[in-house]
Amino acid sequence: MLMAVAFIASADLPPRPQAGAWMGRLVTEWLPDGRRFRLLEEFAFVGSSGEVWRALEGAAVDGSCFPSQFIRYIGHPFAGPQRKAAVVYDISCHEQKRGWRETQRMFYEAARLEGVRPVDAKVMYFALINFGPRWGSTLPRAISTDEDFSRGALYIRRHPEISLPGIEQLSDAALRKR
């Protein structure tokens, strides 16, 4: 059974997380193919809005939803403090129960909860919105080359106060002007 932490108690309102929470533990085992692992227990991320992102026991995770730019310029998604966020993101991308942008924002919030520095989480988010999977959308990608990604990542690092909507508005043309 999963138990959430960091809830505000009130007689009139149901419990709501303050700024996100993890429920359960991330427990895995490698599968024989050596590329994937399986969850041995259910765990979940509860966003600050109260939305629950479940990673069910038995789910197989392979990291295929992370673009090569993420791995090349940031590092492997399962190595580092963003590990739990990466598992929930990968499962959510395969399930496609929510929109791709909502899923990418969940990754950002979950990575922050895990201790990823804000500017690093923003660069990760930038990689996902420009190179990650999209479903149910025909929106063109604003960034399409590694050079433009590098320029965008550098811009974000130099302007760490940039908001997520601001990151979503970055384009190769805008970055070339800056």
What are the beta bridge partners of residue 54?
A: 44
- Sequence-ordered list of residues with C-beta below 8 angstroms from that of 96, at least 6 positions apart, any chain: 135, 136
pLDDT digits (tens, 9 = 90+) for 39-98: 999 999 999 999 999 999 999 999 999 999 999 989 999 999 999 999 999 999 999 999
> In this structure, what token pair is assigned to residue 5?
């932490």
- Sequence-ordered list of residues with C-beta below 8 angstroms from that of 11, at least 6 positions apart, any chain: none
What is the model's pLDDT at position 141?
A: 85
Q: Residue 31 in contact with residue 18, Cβ under 8 Å?
A: no
Would the pTM count as exceeding 0.75?
A: yes
Cβ–Cβ contacts within 10 Å for residue 22, how many?
Answer: 21
Q: How confident is the model at residue 17 (pLDDT cuts 50, 70, 90)?
A: very low
What is the model's pLDDT at position 178?
A: 64
